[in-house]
Structure 1
Amino acid sequence: MRELVAVSSPDVLGALGAALDGTGPALLPIGPGETAISSLTGPVEDEIALVVATSGSTGQPKGVLLSAAALRASAEATHARLGGPGTWLLALSAHHIAGVQVLIRSLLAGSEPGVLTGQGFRPSAFADAARAVLDRAGRHYTSLVPTQLVRLLADGGAGLEALAAFDGVLLGGAATPAELLSQARAAGVSAVTTYGMSETCGGCVYDGIPLDGVRVRLDEDGRISLSGPVLASGYRGASPTSAFAEGWFHTNDLGQVEPDGRLTVLGRADDMIISGGVNVAPALVERVLCAEPDVLEACVFGLPDPEWGQLVAAVVVPADQAAPPSSARLRALVSDRLGGPFAPKRIAVVPELPLRGPGKVDRRALAATMINMKNSGIISR
């Protein structure tokens, strides 16, 4: 057995090399000011190098057990897909798997990563941190969540100019709207969408295509299952689960395979809205809304309703706060493209979407906010 120690995210890099080669303890990264969850501490198997805390959709704390071999396999497959090792800029927290993987890729590349410091994400700070990375020889990479990309595109200037100079920009943590991806690529950003989770050492499907060694299949109910050398060894601090079975990790995400063989993720199965007997995938509605130039970001979810069972609700962030889009027009757009049952019956406009974890929109908080707004008479539809 091997010792597991909690380490604050700023200190992960210094201890990561020894965790990977077995000369030091396994690591449990924690965020600034946080303390280790007691159920996750204690000895681990010798092959485990990292335990990543995650609450998933249930809120039940559990630790994802990641072996050194799986972490290396993920980092090496990423470099193979992007065109070779390079210098990375860490713009994400190192207590989430996406941030840790930036550090692991840097270690394997033998290159000191750049680190974006400070509270919050500011395009000007990103530009400064990127400049120090881009001045080095070789290839250059970074990893962002879509919200960070939105801010860089909206701000323009030095931050966007620096972003466009990277050889690869991984986008993960949440779905990247098609319109946002098009805008980024039109601005010269070498954006690569990623799909994965802590249980797969981070992103393992890039632009819809699995990384080398990774396999994807859709189960009978349309849920995505993943296999390959990047899989976690299981969970710690949680009851036994069937999520890992026969060499596959069974996700709670719904997907479809396009005619060209690429995987499209439709969202979580438990986010599916059943309105009037019709299954509504929030991701499809969000794509239509975000394709509108007046909409910067959108989140769609179900609310309880005595008539429909659930009604489709949407919260949008306008591109121009002083000129929000018309709710009637947004409903008509969704209805025209997807059908009447998909059109949001309730729409609210907010200055920004609340986030949890690495760039994931907090749907529960938005749903609670909208219910309060409805009860207070702030919105009537």
Structure 2
Amino acid sequence: MDILPIHTPPDFNPLDLLKPLADVLAGEGPVVAPYATNEPPANLLTTLSDTSGNGSGPHTGQGPEAMAPDTAVVVSTSGSTGQPKQTMLTIDSLAASSMATAMKLKGEGQWLCTLPVHHIAGLQVLIRSLYAGTKPIVMDPASGFDTEAFTSAAQEMTDHHRYVSLVPTQLHRLLNSPDPNTMSVLRRFNAILLGGGPSNPDLLGTAASEGLKIFTTYGMSETCGGCVYNGKPLPGVQIKLDDGRIHLGGEVVASGYLNQPELNTQHFVDDGETRWYVTDDLGEFDDNGALRVTGRIDDVVISGGLKISAASVRRAIESVEGVHSAFVTGLESVEWGHVLAAAVVGAPESRQTLADAVRRDVAAEAVPKVVKFVPELPMLATGKPDRQQLIRLLEQAFRDGSAG
């Protein structure tokens, strides 16, 4: 099976991906494998006969058994919790995802690309545009994301139906833009998909008060991106909980990971009727049947023999007035086993205010022993917090006692 590795550095023009994507979706071109690193990811390199990583042309894979039949795209996961994995998405799964999205949004239309196209959220903007037969608008690749570039790009849109995918950090910046044209173009979107991580309730409240049509999304590379909108599954998508662990099922589920059979066995299950992806997330259904993600399997921190959910501590901290966002994790401690540590963006009334909120909403034992105020959370290109960098930052603060 031929593979076309495509290097997508920061100045890459996303429109250059349209032709190879159109070819493979029509069954007439090589598998598209975008990547942002200096050379293709290791799992992809082992499948290429030419491992030079120059991305200059298609390559014939060694060991075709590693590549699932009908694969159209190999896309890397965000790597927010460790080593990125290369996910195989088929023509059928991508088509099912695009159709379900159009049904949920009540129509196809023109998309604005604001996210990296080597990850699923940005790549899906191009794929949905191809299925809709519309020309996507992209921000100037050289400018990165800023409110001026976004506003300028949005003003170029001409279709009656307009859509965009954002991450919370981007929406926060846009809502605080001094340019009145920014809010004007935001209101013009028929839907703003907001994903990549949890959204602060204050952020969603501000967006709603401005009349913006926000759809919070939940999904991942393994489900062709967001497949749960505002807590409800897209048409054709199923959700089930197994001891609180979220399973997502349907045609949108990937074929698996490239060259990682053990992980495939752990995360992909075919019960004869439905193909399921077993996530690492925990969730629950509210009274209206909407899914709420409560944390991760590895989110539970055992401190002093007590089990504490880092996600519940984060939500308590983010409920404090003046706090924009937070990251909470556990750090190894000789005395406690682990201690709770938090990186906090914002200016609460005091550290005591944070402690009081955690004590009230979670438990006294859940109050973080390490609190580090930062101007912003370091993010991956996908908009997800860079967990590895944040953990290193908090570990250093814990070691030298500089938290504060």
TM beyond 0.5: yes
Residue 160 of structure 1: how far off its partner (Å): 3.2
Which one-letter code corresponds to 1:150 in the other structure? H
> Which of 179, 199, 207 is 2:202 aligned to?
179
- Report if the CA contact (8 A) 1:64-1:236 is conserved: yes
Q: How does 1:196-207 map to 2 (within 5 A)?
A: 196-207=219-230
The 2-side partners of 1:237 and 1:60 are apart by 14
C-alpha distance 330-59 of structure 1, shift in aligned 2 (>3 A): closer
- Is 1:230 the counterpart of 2:252? The answer is yes
Which deviates more from structure 2 when the two are superposed, residues 147-156 or residues 41-50?
41-50
Shift of 1:80: 0.7
Match of 1:372 among 377, 396, 404: 396
Q: Secondary structure of 1:129's partner?
A: helix
Indicate if the aligned counterparts of 2:217 and 2:226 stay in contact, CA closer than 8 A: yes
User: Do the aligned partners of residues 271 and 18 (structure 1) sit closer, same or farther apart at CA in structure 2, a change above 3 Å counting?
Assistant: same
RMSD: 1.9
Query: How many Å apart are 1:357 and its aligned residue?
Result: 4.1
Choose from 69, 94, 97 the match for 2:120. Answer: 97
- Distance, in Å, in 1 between the alignment partners of 2:389 and 2:7 is 27
1:341 aligns with 2:345: no
Looking at structure 1, the residues matched to 110 and 159 of structure 2 have their Cα atoms a distance apart, in angstroms, of 8
Give the Cα–Cα distance (whole angstroms) in 1 for the partners of residues 107 and 302 of structure 2.
Answer: 45
Deviation, 1:287, is: 2.2
2:43 to 31, 39, 64: 39
8 Å CA contact retained: 1:150, 1:296? no
- Of 290, 295, 312, 2:340 maps to 312
What amino acid does structure 2 have at the position aligned with 1:232? A
Contact preservation (8 Å) 2:78, 2:119: no
Residue 363 of structure 1 and its aligned partner are, at CA, apart by: 2.2
Q: Is the Cα–Cα contact under 8 Å of residues 177 and 286 in structure 1 kept in the other structure?
A: no
1-structure distance, mates of 2:40, 2:117: 15
Instruction: Give the conservation status (yes or no) of the 8 Å contact 2:80–2:386.
Output: no
State which of 22, 26, 33 in structure 1 corresponds to 2:31. 26
CA distance 1:324–1:179, change in 2 (3 Å): closer
Deviation at 1:226, TM superposition (A): 0.9
Quote the offset at 1:162 in angstroms. 1.8
- Counterpart of 1:100, as a letter, is L
Query: Matched residues in 2 for 1:205 and 1:159: separation?
Result: 27
Aligned position for 1:280: 308
Rounded Cα–Cα distance in structure 2 between residues aligned with 1:209 and 1:308: 39
Which letter maps to 1:4? Answer: I
Q: Measure how far apart 1:184 and its partner are.
A: 1.4
Name the CA distance, whole Å, in 2 between partners of 1:372 and 1:286. 20
SS in 2 for 1:49: strand
Partner residue in 2 for 1:213 = 236
Letter in 2 for 1:378: S
The TM-score normalised by the length of structure 1 is 0.92
Matches within 5 A, 1:323-362: 325-362=349-386
Identity of aligned residues (%): 43
| Of 139-148 and 176-185, the range deviating more from structure 2 | 176-185
Q: Which residue identity lines up with residue 353 of structure 1 in the other structure?
A: L
Instruction: Spell out, residue by residue over 1:325-368, the C-alpha distance to the aligned partner (whole angstroms, 9 max, x if none).
Output: 41111111221122213322221111111112411112222121
2:286 maps to which residue? 258
What is the one-letter code of the residue matched to 1:76? M
Q: Please tell me whether the aligned partners of residues 81 and 387 of structure 2 are also in contact (alpha carbons under 8 angstroms).
A: no
CA 1:57–1:315: 2 relative to 1, 3 Å = closer
Structure 1 pair 151/375, CA: closer, same or farther in 2 (3 Å)?
A: same
- Distance in 2 between residues matched to 1:182 and 1:239, nearest whole Å: 43
Which residue identity is paired with 1:29?
P
1:161–1:301 Cα change, 3 Å: farther
Greater displacement, 299-308 / 137-146? 299-308
- The whole-number CA distance in structure 1 between the counterparts of 2:321 and 2:78 is 35
The equivalent of 2:51 in structure 1 is none
Tell me the distance in 1 between the aligned counterparts of 2:245 and 2:344.
27
Three-state SS of the structure 1 residue aligned to 2:332 is strand
Amino acid at match of 1:365: Q
Tell me by how many angstroms 1:92 deviates. Answer: 0.3
Matched residues, number: 371
The aligned residue for residue 187 of structure 2 is 164
For each residue in 1:265-315, what CA deviation from the matched residue of structure 2 results, as whole angstroms up to 9, or x when unmatched?
Answer: 112211322223333222222223223331111111111223332222111
- Alignment correspondent of 1:71: 94
Structure 1: stretches of 5+ with no match in the other structure: none
Measured against aligned partners, the alpha-carbon deviations of 1:110-135 in whole angstroms (never above 9, x if no partner) come to 110010123432111111111111xx
Structure 1 SS opposite 2:174: helix
Q: How far apart, CA to CA, are the structure 1 residues paired with 2:80 and 2:386?
A: 10
Q: Does the residue aligned with 1:245 lie in a helix, a strand or coil?
A: strand
Partner of 2:55: none
Does the residue aligned with 2:176 lie in a helix, a strand or coil?
helix
| 1:316 partner amino acid | V
Q: Look up the SS of the partner of 1:155 in the other structure.
A: coil
Whether the 8 Å CA contact 1:295–1:325 is kept in 2: the answer is: no
Distance in 2 between residues matched to 1:276 and 1:153, nearest whole Å: 42
Check if 1:363 corresponds to 2:387: yes
**CA distances 1:145-164 after superposition (whole Å, capped 9, x unpaired):** 11111111233533233222
Which whole-Å deviations, capped at 9, do the CAs of 1:243-282 have from their partners, x for residues lacking one?
A: 1112211111111111211111112211322223333222
Q: State the match for 1:150 in structure 2.
A: 172
Q: Summarize the Cα distance change of 1:58–1:335 in structure 2 as closer, same or farther, 3 Å threshold.
A: closer
How far apart are residue 324 of structure 1 and its match?
A: 5.3
TM-score, normalised to structure 2, is 0.87
The aligned amino acid for 1:28 is A
Equivalents in 2 of 1:368, 1:354: separation in Å?
Answer: 12
Of the structure 1 ranges 52-61 and 95-104, higher mean CA displacement relative to structure 2 is found in 52-61
Alpha-carbon contact 1:256-1:264 (below 8 Å) kept: yes
